[in-house]
Structure 1
Amino acid sequence: MEFCPTCGNMLQYELPNMGRPSRFFCPTCPYVCYIENRIKIKRRQRLVRKEIEAVISHDDMQNAPTVEIPCPRCNHDKAAFAEFQTRSADEPATIFFMCLNDKCKHTWRQD
């Protein structure tokens, strides 16, 4: 949607007619904006993938309390957990778990 810079009304679109290019025009004032048919890309910019930062690290879980819950990967029966409010206040908190098996160290969450 485009709006008139003069009066603020929503501009209407008009198709090309009799050699005149397509345009946006204001129905209440004389403002007109002609639209170019050709669009040129002036600059290309490569998108860079950002590094994902962990919400909770393994160091944070070393001193966390433990609970008896099976690991979904290795079925070890103990895991450390931490609870964080990752959404709005009226939503329940997210619980992050880390398997205490030295070979596994799998992390998962329960929303």
Structure 2
Amino acid sequence: MEFCPACGMLLQIDPASGRHRLRLFCPTCPYVCPIQNKIVKRARLVKKEVEPIFSGADAMKFAPKTATSCPRCHHGEAYFKQMQIRSADEPMTTFYKCCKEECQLEWRDD
């Protein structure tokens, strides 16, 4: 991004300047600047590691349980954890983990 040295506004590309001779112009003052060099900036995105909602077998000993049906095995009990993942005026999201040792499915309820 380039800014006007006269008034500080964000410069825009002049669409009428043609393909081979592009220039930048200020929308509020008469400042015009030809583009001299090709500007290339590449940003590398780094994939963030996803932290588990329910971590470790020891943590499950103390996690609260609730009566709910697992979507996979239909077991009637699951561990749960509530977190505010959206804005404050939205309801909390509840994460569940099936208590059945063979299933251990994790799901969420918005």
Structure 1 vs Structure 2 CA RMSD: 3.2
Q: How many residues align?
A: 106
State percent identity of aligned pairs. Answer: 47
Distance 1:46-1:3 versus aligned 2 partners, 3 A rule: closer
- Rg larger for: 1
Q: Scaled by the length of structure 2, what TM-score is found?
A: 0.69
Q: Scaled by the length of structure 1, what TM-score is found?
A: 0.69
**Residue ranges of structure 1 left out of the alignment (5+ in a row):** none
Separation in 2 of the partners of 1:7 and 1:46?
A: 32
Contact 2:93 2:108 in 1 (8 A): yes
- Matched with 2:29 is 28
Post-superposition CA distance 1:1-27 (Å, at most 9, x none): 8542212345461414xxx82212346
Contact 2:68 2:76 in 1 (8 A): yes
Distance 1:3-1:46 versus aligned 2 partners, 3 A rule: closer
Separation in 2 of the partners of 1:66 and 1:80?
A: 4
